[in-house]
Amino acid sequence: MKSNVRCWTLPAAAPLIATLWLSGCATVSSDARQPCPPVVEYSAAEQTRAADEVETLPESAAVVAMLSDYAVLRDQARTCR
């Protein structure tokens, strides 16, 4: 009876080729750089008017917390550039 074990074993180079072939995909970064969001520039007059309007609001107003979050987002967008 002939042995057919050799028919079922991969050549020694096959795992190496498969590893090299699969690792070629790993060199490409899947994290595409997102474009920075635009930051709207406000004039000094607009900023002064907005500050005056915010000062009239109570500290517990929801808009005050939202404006604080907006300021953080604007800072992050500026550093993105």
User: For the residues 6-27, what does the mean pLDDT come to?
Assistant: 67
Residue showing tokens 């920075």 = 36
Q: Would you kindly state where each structural domain of the chain is located, as residue ranges? A: 42-81
Residues 19-53 pLDDT 10s = 766 766 666 666 667 788 888 999 999 999 999 99
Q: What is the pTM assigned to this prediction?
A: 0.49
pLDDT at 1 over 60: no
Query: DSSP secondary structure string, 24-66?
Result: HHHTS---PPPPPPP-----HHHHHHHHHHHHTS-TT-HHHHH
User: For the residues 5-24, what does the mean pLDDT come to?
Assistant: 67
Share of the chain above pLDDT 70, in %: 62
